[in-house]
Every structure is written in structure tokens, then in C-alpha cells.
Amino acid sequence: MPHYALLKLSQKFELSQDESAGYLAALSIPKAYQAGEEIARQGEDATHCAVLLDGFACRSRHDVGGDEQILSFVLPGDMCNVESLLLNPFDHTITAQIESRVALIKHADLWRLIGHHPRVGYAFWRDTLIDAAIYREWAVNIGMRNAYARVSHLLCELYVRLKAVGLINAFNYALPLSQQLLAHATGLSVIHVNRTLKRLKDEAIVTVQPRAVRVHDWDRLCAAGEFDPAYLYSKADPA
Amino acid sequence: MPHYALLKLSQKFELSQDESAGYLAALSIPKAYQAGEEIARQGEDATHCAVLLDGFACRSRHDVGGDEQILSFVLPGDMCNVESLLLNPFDHTITAQIESRVALIKHADLWRLIGHHPRVGYAFWRDTLIDAAIYREWAVNIGMRNAYARVSHLLCELYVRLKAVGLINAFNYALPLSQQLLAHATGLSVIHVNRTLKRLKDEAIVTVQPRAVRVHDWDRLCAAGEFDPAYLYSKADPA
DNA sequence: CGAGGCCTTGAACGTCGTCAAGTGGAGTGG
DNA sequence: CCACTCCACTTGACGACGTTCAAGGCCTCG
């Protein structure tokens, strides 16, 4: 089983022994965050980049009224705040949703690594481009689709991304998807999310429980979410 | 007046004579696109990157029903599809909204340039990170705000970004913002955009005409759009 | 056993979308 | 100069999707 942090990074650029070793050497001893703790804060000038080793986190923005919009999910292997290498201050917040482990890399170390191994830099760049693709997809999701499709699409995305890192077990995945969280991610109200989940469950498409999601009918879930399985350049089969 | 294409790129990395020259040398003779023509197409494997020299374009995604979601605006100096360097096929479409000039760079030339001048590569990377910040902002806009704030926010963004490239003239800017386009950008219906613009005009905040926007009261426009003037790391004053 | 989350359900309201008809300006041709 | 056309904008009426308010149920944890 390769290191999560390498798994995603080397999708396009097969990193050499040397490159992988350099990257792994730069990683700090993992730091644990509890559910609700902030891994990166809006407005702060970061000195480190962070890689999520395991757990589950969300990028989000808060407005003055205390309202929240979730911008994307951070899954094991994902970089949290590479942006901070080039853009400061950080413009959103990353919050651990469950207990999570994070490895940090000093900016200076990362710059040195990239200087010596440009391909590692390209892999990081590519990673941020995939993040951007996710943001685009979310804009489409929130802007064009109704509640039923929005929620379905979100569950599809999570399925495919978790599949890519081996965290799917027979069409089930273990994630604390509270209805509140889904509401903030889809731009809907909790109550409407609840109604939508009820419908998806009644239709025997998918069951969302407080700590686990069970996909009963992947094809109909994709159809409901107008989900393109080629999403995110992943070649993962659903099963 | 510096070259538009350099203006944006060298915001953080003051490019040296050498670096700038290398970049400019890689640019092709500008190619003209008419309004409605596609500069980059969803699904295609690009061989070139494109820089918008002047004009106005939109990134957008189309769904099966022919519906469209605009994902962001492409203004003079902006890169169109750097993504294609690292991610293929291209996952959305870029369409010229008015007659526009575009310079192309062969991927191979760009890779060579970046290889010789890493800082140019970092500048490109930074540019794609700002694009990502825009997508995040749009997700917030569409997901959290009502029609009034959404439209206002969009107008604020355009104002600040055009200001940064010197295309604002005494609180006016010349852009073909049809109500249809605004609708696709905000996830609203044309009719509701119309109602919203009427209200903004009646309140003497901003007037949007088919080919020009006049900002009467910048402060109230920001307030209406819950717009943070520090948006996009721009230090541009409104006036 | 009690308290506090989160989920669930119902009812009323409102924002925004749809449908339909009408207005106005720009370009074209008589 | 005046129809005529086309297209975008405008306005009104109506309905739907989704929100808000309110109350009740369930599970977890102290």
C-alpha cells in the first residue's frame, strides 16, 4: 500500500525513487486534529503546507451572519493549502470533520524540493488544477441543478474520489455526512436536504446515515445527479 | 504601457528582462476571434495555451438540455487554458463574447520556457491559483447569496478586475453584459436578473446597459454585493 | 435518567422560475 | 423616410421549489 500522500501526487508524473524520497523526507511527523479543529485559517499567512494523511476535512467560507458555504472536501492524500506557497493570506478555512492526521511541510523545504525536482512541482501544480476543476464542478452543481440532483451529485463525487484512494468498501463509505454539512455544501437548507435524502432512500438509490453512506444503485445515483463518471480525470470503476 | 500579458503575470514575480523576453518570444502572432467563437473547447486535447490580449471571454459548462453555467470571465491579460498543460482533455469551454485577440503558445515552447526560467512557471502557477480563488468566490456567490447580492457581487468583481488592467474609466466600463449572460453567470433566470438590475438602477447604485456599465455608488454596490474589496489579492483602489 | 444534538415531519411563506404578452432600439429593404 | 424584422429588454401573473418557523422523535453521552 503506497503512502496516501504519494498516491494522488504521482497520478500523472510517476515520481522516481529520488523524487518520492525527497518529498517524504520533507513531511513532518503527522499532527493530529480533532473534529472541528481548523487545519488552515482564513486570513492567516501560512508557513507550512499540509497534506491530509487520514481523516476528513472541508474547505469553507464564512460570512458575517455566521453562515457557511463548504467549497470542497479534503480527503486522505489531498493537499490542504498548497495555495499558501504562492498566495497569501489564505482566503478560506479548512476544518477537520473527524479526527484527522496531517503532515506539514515547511514552505522553504517545499521550495527547495521543487527547485531540485521540478517534476514534483508540476505534480503539485496539477493537484491544484484538479482542485480548481472541483470548484468549477461545484459552481455548476449549485448554479444549475435542483436539490435532488445536487445532493446526488455530491454523493457521486465523494464515491469516486474515495474509490480512487481505496476507501470504498462494497458500495459503502464511512463518512460523517451530517445533513447540516450537506446543506452547507449544496447551498440548501437542512430541512430540504432531509427531504431529499428521504426521497433517495425511499427510491432505494442511496442511504445516508450519520456515519456511513450506502449506495444501493450506482447507476441511478449517477443519473439522478447528472454525474459524468469521467469526472475529475479519474478512471476508477465504480465497483 | 506594459504588455497586457505581462501585466498580470508579473504581479508577484517581478520578471527579469530575460524572463519577460522569453515569454513574449513564445507568443504567436495574435489570432482574432469573433463574438461567439470558441477559443477552447470542452473535450479537446489542446496543443497550445492561449492568452487573451484584448476583448472579453467566458468560461462555461453546458449540460445536456442546452443549459449553460458561466464559470468565470476572461479579461485582457488572463490565461485561457494553462490547465491544458497538465490536465487533458479540457473540461469546459471558453467563448469570446466580443471580438477578441488571443496569442497562442505551443505547449512544448512553454515547457521549455518554464524549464529554463522556473520563476515564469511559478507565475503561471500563481495565475491558475487566482483562477481557483475566483471559482471559490463564485461558489459562495451562487450558493449563499440572494439575487440582489449575487448580481451586485458580480459587477463588483468585474470592476476590480478591469481596474487592475486599466480598463475602468471614471467608474464606467464597457462590456457587453447581456442579461442572458448575467443570468448564466449567477444561476438566475433572465427575468429575475432583469428585475434585479431594475432595482439597482432605481436605487441609483449601478446602471447596466447592453454595452456599458456605470457605477453610481461604489460603496453601496459593495454593500449590496457583500463584496470584500481585498478580493483577489488586488490592492486596486476603486477610483 | 436527563440533556443536548441531530434527524424528522408538517405547515405557511417567499424568492425565484415559467409562461405569456408587450415594448423598444438597431439594422434592412422598399 | 418609413415599414418590417429581429432580438434583447420589460412587465405582469401564476406556480413551484426551497426556506423558515415550529414541534416532536430518536440516539448518544454524561
Residue of B97 and B18 predicted with greater confidence: B97
The whole-chain average pLDDT of chain B stands at 90
pLDDT tens per residue across span B84-105: 999 989 999 999 999 999 999 9
Q: Pick out the nucleotide with least CA–C1' distance to B196.
A: C16
> Nearest-CA residue of chain A relative to B66?
A144
* CA pair distance A197, A238, nearest whole angstrom: 21
B121 with A126: Cβ contact below 8 A: no
Given CA atoms A159, A164, A165, A171 in this order, what sign does their dihedral have? positive
pLDDT grade for A21, boundaries at 50, 70 and 90:
confident
The answer to whether the pTM exceeds 0.85 is yes
Q: Which residue from A61, A92, A118 is facing B118, i.e. has the nearest CB? A: A118
Contacts of A13 in chain B (CB under 8 A): none
Q: Which whole number is the average pLDDT over A159-169?
A: 90
What's residue A153's pLDDT?
Answer: 97
pLDDT tens per residue across span A132-162: 999 999 999 999 999 999 999 999 999 999 9
Instruction: Please determine, for residue A223, whether its predicted confidence score (pLDDT) is greater than 80.
Output: yes
Contacts of B143 in chain A (CB under 8 A): 69, 142, 186-187
Pick from A202-206, B78-82, B160-164, B235-239: least confident: B235-239
| Chain A touched by B64 (CB under 8 Å) | yes
Given CA atoms B71, B74, B75, B79 in this order, what sign does their dihedral have? positive
**Is any atom of nucleic acid chain D found less than 7 Å from the CB of residue A187?**
yes
The shortest C-alpha distance from B101 to chain A (Å) reads 25
Q: Pick out the nucleotide with least CA–C1' distance to A193.
A: D18
* CA pair distance A104, A109, nearest whole angstrom: 10
Instruction: Please determine, for residue A17, whether its predicted confidence score (pLDDT) is greater than 90.
Output: no
B38's CB contacts (< 8 A; 6+ apart) are B93, B94, B95, B96
| Chain A touched by B131 (CB under 8 Å) | yes
Omega prior to B238 cis, within 30 of 0: no
Contacts of A187 in chain B (CB under 8 A): 142-144
What's residue A233's pLDDT?
Answer: 64
* CA pair distance A125, A191, nearest whole angstrom: 39
What is the DSSP-derived secondary structure letter of residue B51?
E
What's residue A90's pLDDT?
Answer: 93
3-state secondary structure of B146: coil
Residue among A62, A91, A94, A227 with most chain B CBs within 10 A, to mutate: A91
Pick from A54-63, A192-201, B165-174, B228-237: least confident: B228-237
What's residue B172's pLDDT?
Answer: 87
What's residue A234's pLDDT?
Answer: 56
Pick from A13-22, A33-42, A138-147, A158-167: least confident: A13-22
pLDDT tens per residue across span B36-54: 999 999 999 999 999 999 9
Q: Are B107 and B84 in contact (CB under 8 A)?
A: yes
The shortest C-alpha distance from B130 to chain A (Å) reads 8
Q: Pick out the nucleotide with least CA–C1' distance to B146.
A: C15
| Chain B touched by A13 (CB under 8 Å) | no
3-state secondary structure of B188: coil
Closest C-alpha to A31, from A57, A66, A10, A8? A57
The whole-chain average pLDDT of chain A stands at 90
| Chain B touched by A21 (CB under 8 Å) | no
What's residue B11's pLDDT?
Answer: 65
Q: Which whole number is the average pLDDT over A102-120?
A: 94
A32-36's contacts with Cβ under 8 Å and 24+ in sequence apart are A32/A99, A32/A100, A32/A101, A32/A102, A33/A57, A33/A96, A33/A99, A33/A100, A33/A101, A33/A102, A34/A96, A34/A99, A35/A96, A35/A97, A35/A98, A35/A99, A35/A176, A36/A95, A36/A96, A36/A97
pLDDT grade for B1, boundaries at 50, 70 and 90:
very low
B129 with A86: Cβ contact below 8 A: yes
B212-215/B172-173 β-pairing: antiparallel
| Chain A touched by B191 (CB under 8 Å) | no
What's residue B230's pLDDT?
Answer: 78
Q: Which residue from A126, A131, A187 is facing B132, i.e. has the nearest CB? A: A131
The CA-based angle B63-B68-B74, given to 5 degrees, is 125
Instruction: Please determine, for residue A122, whether its predicted confidence score (pLDDT) is greater than 70.
Output: yes
B93's CB contacts (< 8 A; 6+ apart) are B38, B40, B41, B42, B59, B60, B61, B62
Q: Which residue from B64, B133, B144 is facing A91, i.e. has the nearest CB? A: B133
pLDDT grade for B236, boundaries at 50, 70 and 90:
very low
Q: Which residue from B64, B131, B143 is facing A142, i.e. has the nearest CB? A: B143
Residue of B88 and A229 predicted with greater confidence: B88
Instruction: Please determine, for residue B62, whether its predicted confidence score (pLDDT) is greater than 70.
Output: yes
pLDDT grade for A1, boundaries at 50, 70 and 90:
very low
With distances taken from each CA to the C1' atom of nucleotide D8, the closest residue turns out to be B178
Residue of A46 and B12 predicted with greater confidence: A46
* CA pair distance A227, A221, nearest whole angstrom: 8
